[in-house]
Structure 1
Amino acid sequence: MPKDITLTIDGRTVKAPEGTMIVDAAKLVGIDIPVFCYHPKMEPVGMCRMCLVEIGRPVIDRATGLPVPEADGSPKIQFGPKLETACTTPVSEGMVVIGLSDKVREARRDVLEFLLTSHPLDCPVCDKGGECPLQNLTLEHGPGTSRFLIDEKSHAAKHVPLGDLIYLDRERCIQCGRCVRFQSDIADDPVIGFYNRGRKMEIVTYSDPGFDSIFSGNTTDICPVGALTTADFRFGARPWELNSAASLCNHCPVGCNTTINVRREARTGGGVAIKRIMPRQNEQVNEIWMCDKGRFAYHFADSPDRLKTPLVRSDSGLKETGWDDALEAAAAEIREAGSGLVTLASGRLTNEDLFNLRQLTKAQGGTFIGYSRMAGGDIANHYGMQPGCHLGSLGKDSVIVVAACDLHEEAPLWWLRVREAVKRGAELIVINTRPTRLDSAAGQVKRVRFGEEAAVVDGLLTDDLGEKISQSENLIVFYGSDGLGREAVGQLAGACARLLHNSGHARKVNSGLIPVWERGNTQGLWDMGARPADDLVELLAGAKTVLVAGADPAIDDPLFERALEKAGSVIVQELFLTATAKLADVVFPVLAFTEREGTYTSGERRVQRFYPAVPAPESCRADYVIAAELGRILNISLESRAASLVFTQIAAGIPQYAGLDYRKLAETTDQWPIISRSDVYYGGTSYANKQGLGVQLPLLPMDGYDLFIPDGVPVLHPEAHELAIYPVTRLYDRGITVSTSTLLEPRLARADLRIHPQTAKQLMLADDMHVMLPVDGAAFPVRIMIDETVPESCGLISRSTGIPIHEPQVAQVIPPVGDQVKRERS
């Protein structure tokens, strides 16, 4: 723990930890020292010189090592001959800082005048106007006139697309380097940089496609001018026209805090439209960052293709009807089904939705199924994260194990946080079958065969890492489903829990198990009582009524589609007319997350609340309301008046949620760095968190809990002419909530079969060749992609691309007819 240093800034006494920069120490007492290049999340570089201050230090007697006293007994202070940068100068005992002298004011005025010689004065049409640090600091510290003629200004290209998502106005760039440093130091994607020198210096992209980074949108938040803008907000609105609502990203299990900006628009007939999604500060979750999927994949919420009215099947197909008729029709099917009701729900739903669906299903004696490819939610409730756990506190004496997952693709903000922990001194162990972006930060990389992950985790304490793990203060274990089926994932979760238990880290603060779930609220799905089915096809086919909420099994697998066709009836609650909805007898249109409130539980077991951003369409209802309305007809008492009241019932019925309510979830505490919209120059335009930091759940007691999970997942051994096919996860999947964003279309995962060059040679396959892949009696078209990172004799298929591979399996690739004849002759 660093010791506190006492200094004086503009006459005020400040105490700050040793190593703190002056600009940050000033913030602690509400003194704003202006900056452009400095950012509290990045290493200081002192490029812009805007933070120049006068600094005095106590004169030290060389003989005694003590400060030389003045006549009045106070330390004698000696000021330097020149101004110094407050962003690169750490505090020292007895230091005196002056930031309001005439000398300092003149220096700031000169810096701004110099910047404006190359900057267009187009504030009325600039996207940054209203939240622009340069604009604000010029008004506060800049000159009233300029000594440079306007025709002498430097002119550069405007509206330059660095990539599909980010535009650059080179004329506005002040070369502060924030964007370049973020991409290099934090995102580990040095895909943009400076080119040329002097007035010709400019930001360029080095990647193909341009600005190829999943964190590119963050550069627009921290840009102190209007040089970088996002493609969907550029020229979209003025900041002062926008209203804000606190929300959450539900695309992955991190649970990033966000802010949704909205305003009324003519294109929506005077209705409220979403203009952009911005990060909201939560230092325990996403700090002030977010990935591009969370930033841009919200357009499904205002898609014109969304369902607007209930549908009921007649002899001529699905027909629009009123809510009363649809509810009566669905309730009749559920009543008839009795215990033959199967409810299939996903982690896309809120805790409130899942709880009411569970209660409805339970009252009928039915089966509540979680639509998930993973296992271990119950293990996480005994060995997972608990109150007080904070990834940001990991450093020296911490060990992080990442097994069978690619955090860069599956949970990008956890990838960032693990890398930052390694920079602070944490030991990282990566266990995977193939290289991932995290390997470069790992102290140990254990390359295994698919299916061997659990055995390798079980052996960690007996190999050369055992002593380091056992003696570490903290142990965090991430586990996923990279190339694994649900049974293997369950065994891996058990092995990870045994590692925590046997090393003495189980149930300790800052130690625990973190499942890398496929959805934002899969942990909540487990908490509300849903469990994956051992044989979902058989269960669906034998059901009298299937109620599907927030899932589209028919598009994922033809076997699921045929099983639903065999079910007695199908009821669907959905945003769009999905493949599953087209099979339904009754379809209910539901509200998007932007139109309602609710809670999600993240992979760190943190319950967080989100708020409505736009008015709810009268023709749509929340999933929990639909379940309650069905219950009313069936004489089952369920809460429908407000999500907060449903959550009160959750707190009363789910042990780990006891004592929670919406007020507790809305509580906040002071965070560092201090992010405020009143001084966007300091940390960027990320929003301060005033609506709730969330609450981590306590662990369930161990009494009677058995951790034993049978070992042994068979490793596939394909023949010479076969491939072992394994499912993996891509960030930009083709799920309905992502594929509806036209901005992300070029990035969406494709039906590619990735194989090693040697495997391609053995099977006589070529890069970009289109072949057929047999799966469960059907053949699916895929494109061959040669990838040296794929293990030999293996093929990788991205999930959610229409290829129904949920478990590892052996298959024989069918080449085009001409190529097949050549192979047979050879």
Structure 2
Amino acid sequence: MARAHPVPCRRRSRDHGGSGPVDGGRPVDLPGRLPARLVVRSRTRGRSVPLQDDHDLLRRPVGIRAGALRAHAVPLRVRGARLAAHPHSRQGGGPVTTVDAGSEAIPAPESDPNAVSVTINGRTVEAHKGEWIIAAADRAGEYIPRFCYHPRMNSVGMCRQCLVEVEGPRGPMMVVSCMTPVAEGQVVRTDTPQVKRAQEGMIELLLANHPLDCPVCDKGGECPLQDQAFSHGPGESRFVEEKRHYEKPIPISEIVYLDRERCILCDRCTRFADDVAGDALIQFTQRGNNTQVMTFPDEPFASYFSGNTVQICPVGALTAKPFRFKARPWDLEQRESTCTTCSVGCRTVVQSSRDEIVRVQGVDSDPVNWGWLCDRGRFDFQSVNSGDRVLVPLVRRDGALATATWADALDEVATHLRGAGASTAILGGARGTNEDAFMWGRLADALGCTMRDAQLDDGLPAEVLAMPQATIDEACSAATVVLVAPDLKEELPVLHLRLRDAAMKKRIRIIEISAVETALTALAWRSVRCEPGTQPEAVAELLTDAAVMTQLASGSTVVVAGRANLAESASHTMSAVESLLAAAPAASVLPVLRRANVRGALSLGLAPRDGRDAATILHDAAEGRIECLVLLGSDPLSDVPDADLARRALAGARFVVSIDAFLSPSAAHADVVLPAAVAGEKDGTTTNLEGRVTGTAQKVTAPGTARTDWMIAAELAEMLGHDFGVATLVDVRRAMESGAPGWGEATSRLANDVDGVVVRRAPAAAHPVRRTAPGARNSHEFRLVLARKLYDSAIATRTSPALASLAPGAGIAVHPLDLERIGAVAGEPVRVVAGERAVVLPVSVSARVPRGTALSPFNQPGADIRELVRGTGALDVSIEVP
């Protein structure tokens, strides 16, 4: 008979004679695996080999060779208490670990009263009424093989690999455990001869048309089909006919490749795209033996979440271009960390080979990201490996930046800081760690500097953190969520997934107040279109609706608040949020913060003092009142909405220091550039938008002579005569314990609380926001909405080859009727005018933009529409055909 050999570099199963790796094969005793009672079965002679379970790469990616950095291998998490809250999807609801920094801790939920008793393989197990058998078995440590089942998606019973035996009135019967709920007194067996034969038969069918090209497959070494072919397969195949053949691989997007020959039709990728992401761009086509996964003609798999389908694919049918043929899983070293692309703080595993980051995988953090990542967070690690990094300090000599030693560069900076004193201003710090922000805050205090802001006048003011705060889980379990925020799919994609799931499965009611339609509009209970700059008026009108007031009073309410339009004042949003909190006094706020560690930086010393925020700092610098301007990982020329103000500020400051990993447009205008280490190159902690402190891990060595931000601050402080007694990261954290109540304790508890620790402060007394009135509409025809897109001209995107081509580019979109009225043609250039200023942009048509409104993406390749923005309440423009 023909024999099936699905795993490369190993002998046939009849030759296995031990429990260790065979012929260089992948080790079987990796950390985080299931118990060794799970064995490789074979009809041939030889001892059994313990099974290594992949756990869908959901909780922990695995694949490190035995003994290779075992201390860094991330152990499997078991969250029985949390899984109890939602038996089918195992969604959040577990207790939130908090640190009391002036407020009460969050109470843990009560236990599930609907427990049932089930017997699995002779052992009594407490399960939850309605829970699938496979989920109950997982929690009990009884492994059932599977391919299509995924705990974060609806079950479909496609692969039939999870067959088990259940006793019924007519005797034992075979059932699919991912589609059969538990019941009181139920008896389940997973290891009877009948079950084994059924599982072997399913493996044989799946391998009948599988190409068995494991030696050249990127999934080799971490493939569930490989593992289960050895543990639950027949050991030989009766199939001798020609297998199916397709063109392979085919690119279905800029990032993902599809190999249809390897596909086992498990429906994971299509379910994720349709049910989780809402991007039904990949589907089954044809029927019967010709069924295959495919995208639609001329419509690529252009989803912001396509990398998740690669991670959850149980075979090598979907592979990611950045990782193809880079390394074998057993050669990878890994550490758990936190994504720093945005402020959601998704948990990740950073994997490297030969001191180079080669892959980032999502980790199932129950209160945060559930294992999902957006493609930007998953693939922008390539910027860390970029050849454009600043490797040594640069000092401006004779009008040009020239290389210098650290001693000379720091001496230059210290000299100007000493002379500037209180006339020093610090912009940025939100891209660093908590430890970085804390040390720079202490240095600012030592200098008497009150001009500091971790934001760049592109978010809500720091006062939003003084409002009652909510967590992501609280927002997703609230009765009502009010969105006064940008399109979350563009700015905080994983928060968008969480709220989308809550709206579809938990039926939370979303009230949306926005100038344009967003990705959540279709799921909103109420969706209000308001003219840019009129959010307070829209809220006031909304609160006159009796049904809305009844809904706000029916249960918990969370206001998701963020700055949706960079062409208008943030005061409009703040005023609208205050009105909502006044109408629903028990409501809380989940702030949409723009950068990874905005909350940590603002809380640890880089918040504005005396109202001197980023806008004030830039105005003072433009008028020559700033002696020394420190750009702490910030790029005002790219990120400040008012481009003219940013240019004048950099030109007006007497001395500019940039601490950055790249020579950004702003760094190119600095007098001194100090190379900084980035995420993946330094240990530390970060604080996400809900106040959750989590760890970031160093996985590779920083290039050149790059240093961490906190280290630079400590050295400058010592040169200025302020010895903080800090030489190591441990010293910084010890100082935080006394200097930053809450954060120091949270950091010390991370070793036991791998999902992070929420730091909360008591809400401060409300201070009315001074609103910048938008003014009456002038003779211009359109009011502008300037919004961010997931992909833009940010350096991390431009220097990541997988993402560099995904930015949509500069342009302006209007309603179809408005396009017809102005006589323009979609795709053709138009002249956008505001006062005496004008830019030429291609025009497009979009029904999601109301009439009288124009929508333009922020910081895109091409003409810069920020040239029209000034710090006013709102921006009106005219659109003319050249």
Does residue 738 of the first structure (1) align with residue 823 of the second (2)? no
Deviations 1:743-786 (A, max 9, x none): 11232141112222333334333222224445686544422222
Partners of 1:372 and 1:277 lie apart in 2 by: 31
Report whether the alignment pairs 1:535 with 2:608: no
Partner of 1:760: 819
Report the CA distance shift for 1:648/1:381 in structure 2 as closer, same or farther (over 3 A): farther
Query: CA–CA distance in 2 between the matches of 1:20 and 1:446?
Result: 38
Instruction: Name the % identity.
Output: 35
Q: Who is 2:70 aligned against?
A: none
Question: In the alignment, what sits opposite 1:809?
Answer: 875
Change (3 A) 1:452 1:655: farther
Match of 2:852 among 793, 808, 818: 793
Q: 2:761 maps to what in 1?
A: 699
Give me the whole-angstrom Cα distance separating, in 1, the residues matched to 2:555 and 2:297. 40
Q: Answer whether contact 1:574 1:590 (CA < 8 A) is retained.
A: yes
What's the CA shift string for 1:76-107, capped at 9, x where partnerless?
Answer: xx524x41111100000111111111111001
2:592 to 505, 516, 530: 516
Q: Distance in 2 between matches of 1:177 and 1:608?
A: 33
Residue 172 of structure 1 pairs with residue 256 of structure 2: no
Change (3 A) 1:322 1:394: closer
Corresponding position of 2:334: 244
Deviation at 1:498, TM superposition (A): 4.8
Unaligned runs of 5+ in 2: 1-111
- Compared CA separation, residues 155 and 534, structure 1 to 2 (3 A): closer
2:174 aligned to 71, 83, 90, which one? 83
Q: How does 1:596-675 map to 2 (within 5 A)?
A: 596-638=682-724, 640-657=726-743, 659-661=745-747, 663-668=748-753
Deviates more, 1:107-116 or 1:195-204: 195-204
Partners of 1:27 and 1:49 lie apart in 2 by 17
Residue of structure 2 in register with 1:562 after alignment? 648
Equivalent residue number for residue 679 of structure 1: none
Contact 1:377 / 1:527 at 8 angstroms: preserved in 2?
Answer: no
The aligned amino acid for 1:26 is A
Closer, same or farther: CA 647–811 of 1 in aligned 2, 3 Å: farther
Decide which of 206, 211, 216 is 2:301's aligned counterpart: 211
Cα deviation, residue 365, structure 1: 2.0
Matching residue within 361, 364, 368 for 2:452: 368
**Aligned twin of 2:190:** 99
- Quote the residue 1:62 is aligned against: none
1:547 aligns with 2:630: yes
1:408 pairs, out of 481, 489, 501, with 489
Partner of residue 112, structure 1: 203
Q: Where do 1:308-327 residues align within 5 Å?
A: 308-327=391-410
- Looking at structure 1, the residues matched to 347 and 575 of structure 2 have their Cα atoms a distance apart, in angstroms, of 30
Deviations for 1:41-76, whole angstroms, at most 9, x for unmatched residues? 11111111111111114x5xxxxxxxxxxxxxxxxx
The corresponding residue for 2:517 is 435
For residue 749 of structure 2, give the secondary structure of its aligned residue in structure 1. helix
Secondary structure class of the residue paired with 2:718 = helix
* 1:461/1:470 contact within 8 Å kept: no
Question: Equivalent residue for 1:577?
Answer: 663
Offset of residue 725 of structure 1: 2.2
Per-residue deviation at 1:355? 2.0
Q: Residue type matched to 1:769 in 2?
A: E
Q: What is the letter of the counterpart of residue 94 of structure 1?
A: G
Greater shift, 347-356 or 301-310, is seen at 347-356
> Which residue identity lines up with residue 217 of structure 1 in the other structure?
G
Question: What's 2:220 paired with?
Answer: 129
- Preserved contact between residue 567 and residue 784 of structure 2 (Cα < 8 Å): no
d(CA) in 2 for partners of 1:472, 1:505:
11
Amino acid at match of 2:577: C
Q: Is the 8 A contact 1:404 1:453 kept in 2?
A: no
1:264-287 alpha-carbon deviations (Å, 9 max, x no partner): 1xxxxxxx1111110012110001
1:404 CA drift (Å) = 3.1
Question: Which residue in the other structure is 1:728 paired with?
Answer: 787
- Map 1:255-270 → 2, pairs under 5 A: 255-264=345-354
Q: What secondary structure sits across from 2:384 in the alignment?
A: helix
Which segment is superposed worse, 763-772 or 91-100? Answer: 763-772
Q: Cα distance, 1:228 vs. partner? A: 0.7
Deviation track 1:342-393 (CA, whole Å, cap 9, x = no partner) reads 11114212222222222222222222133241224333243112xxx45278
Structure 1 residues 526 and 494, CA gap change in structure 2 (3 angstroms): farther
User: Per-residue displacement from partner, 1:129-172 (whole Å, max 9, x unpaired)?
Assistant: 111111001101111111111x5222222211111111111110
Residue in 1 that maps onto 2:546: 464
**Matched residue, 1:688:** none
Give 1:24's aligned amino acid. A
CA contact (8 A) 1:243 1:261 kept: yes
Unaligned runs of at least 5 residues, structure 1: 60-77, 265-271, 507-511, 669-691, 820-826
Alpha carbons 1:402, 1:429 under 8 Å: kept: yes
Give the TM-score of the pair, scaled to structure 2: 0.82
Q: Distance in 2 between matches of 1:411 and 1:328?
A: 40
Letter in 2 for 1:444: R
Query: What secondary structure does 2:319 align onto?
Result: strand
Q: Is the 8 A contact 1:298 1:738 kept in 2?
A: no
Q: Does 1:337 align with 2:337?
A: no
Aligned pairs, number: 751
Name the amino acid aligned to 1:193: Q
Post-superposition shift, 1:605?
Answer: 1.4
**Relative to structure 2, which stretch is displaced further, 803-812 or 127-136?**
803-812
Cα distance in structure 1, aligned partners of 2:687 and 2:835: 35
2:468 aligns with 383
Alpha-carbon distance in structure 1 between the residues aligned to 2:541 and 2:364:
39
Are the equivalent residues in 1 in contact too, given 2:116–2:126 (CA < 8 A)? yes
- Counterparts of 1:814 and 1:446 in 2: how far apart (Å)? 29
Structure 1 residue 458: Cα displacement = 4.7
Distance in 1, matches of 2:661 and 2:500, equals 37
Deviation at 1:618, TM superposition (A): 5.0
Change (3 A) 1:475 1:776: same
